[in-house]
Amino acid sequence: MATINNNLSEYDKASIPNAKDFRFGIVVSEWNDNITEGLYKGAYETLVEHNVLPENITRWDVPGSFELIYGCKKMQQKNVDAVIAIGSVIQGETKHFDFVCEGVSQGIKDLNVLHDIPVIFCVLTDNTEQQGIERSGGIHGNKGTEAAVAAIKMAVLNKK
């Protein structure tokens, strides 16, 4: 279902496990920070809403979405139960968008395969800045909220 028909911030809060004992790493790209900061806010607030202690949330910043791969790989080595990769890639004039998006998605997939700490893909890949604004706390909700919920669920699964 497309985001326009499925608000990213709407979910059954009662269905989410208590996350007070979990530790999370969040790696944030500095490109398009008007969007990535909104995604981070949504993710951070959602983790705290589900009882994650602020001191158990570690944030690192990287220059761009392509560097999320290396940053998340290093974060996986820290004492965390899940990692959230936050980025915003916006189509420009060239094919660079295609290579950044493909590289980041494949790289984060590889991290989930190669290491035993889940990495959540919270990277917007938008045609326009407005689409990113609408999905980082705008009319379509916040993909950061969605990512935090996924991170909690995957941290629980990793304990089974």
Ligand X SMILES: Nc1c(NC[C@H](O)[C@H](O)[C@H](O)CO)[nH]c(=O)[nH]c1=O
Interface with ligand X (CB under 6 A), residue from 10, 20, 63, 98? 63
CB 141 within 8 A of CB 135: yes
Reading the block at residue 138, the tokens are 């705008």
CB 119 within 8 A of CB 26: no
Does residue 5 interact with ligand LTPLIIQW by CB under 6 A? no
Measured at the alpha carbon of residue 125, what is the angle toward residues 49 and 44, in degrees to the nearest 5? 15
Distance, CA of 146 to CA of 158 (rounded, Å) = 18
Q: Is 31 annotated as a binding residue?
A: yes
Distance, CA of 71 to CA of 67 (rounded, Å) = 6
Does residue 122 interact with ligand X by CB under 6 A? no
CB 147 within 8 A of CB 86: yes
| Helix axis angle, 33-49 to 143-157, nearest 10° | 50
Residues 88-107 that bind ligand LTPLIIQW (CB under 6 A): 89-90, 92-94, 96-97, 100
Size of the site for ligand X (CB under 6 A): 13
Distance, CA of 74 to CA of 139 (rounded, Å) = 34
Contact flags string 98-117 toward ligand X, x per CB under 6 A:
--x-----------------
* Position with the least CB separation from ligand X: 64
* Among candidate residues 51, 52, 154, the one with its CA nearest the CA of residue 108: 154
Nearer to ligand LTPLIIQW, 60 or 97 (CB): 97
Does residue 90 interact with ligand X by CB under 6 A? yes
User: Is 96 among the residues known to form the active site?
Assistant: yes
Nearer to ligand X, 36 or 76 (CB): 36
Catalytic residues: 96
**Residues forming the annotated binding site for (2S)-2-hydroxy-3-oxobutyl phosphate?**
93-94, 135
Q: Interface with ligand LTPLIIQW by CB under 6 A: which residues?
A: 89-90, 92-94, 96-97, 100
